[in-house]
Amino acid sequence: MFNVSFGEIFAFSVIALIVLGPEKFPQVLRQVMLKYRNFKSLMNKVQQDIEEELELAELKQFMQQELQRIKDNEAQLQISLLEMQAKIDQQQHELNVQVQKKQTYLYEPISLHNAVPFRQAAPVSQKVEKAV
């Protein structure tokens, strides 16, 4: 992390031993190591937090893209639904027109002298009678 070699650490330890003396050196070394561990764990935590934030930002961007795709699909489905509804309405209108034509055909009189509510059936041919 600090690019300190073993020789540099050894030289620093010898200087610290001479300056602090053999009584205080172990206590100071212990405190320095604790501070170093705390600093290292803090740096690891900061690094993890940064990575999590980056992942969250990427995830947020991905979710926004997916949400946009869903909205686009919804719009396309709405358009398709409206087109289908228009086709259904058109076919229903055409069927209603055909039904009204058939109803007027069924109820129109055959002749002016003989007004019958329904048309009379055509005579059945002999071939059809034999088949039945």
Instruction: Calculate what percentage of the chain has a pLDDT beyond 70.
Output: 77
Q: How confident is the model at residue 128 (pLDDT cuts 50, 70, 90)?
A: very low
| pTM value surpassing 0.75 | no
Inter-CA distances, 101 with 8, 41, 88, 105, 107, Å = 106, 88, 20, 6, 10
Contacts of 28 (CB under 8 A, 6+ apart): 16, 20
**DSSP-H helix ranges across 1-132:** 6-107, 126-131
- The residue length of the chain stands at 132
Mean pLDDT over each residue of the chain, to the nearest integer: 82
Q: Please state, in angstroms and rounded to a whole number, the distance separating the CA atoms of residues 71 and 76.
A: 9
Q: Rounded mean pLDDT of 80-109?
A: 85
* Mean per-residue pLDDT, 61-71: 95
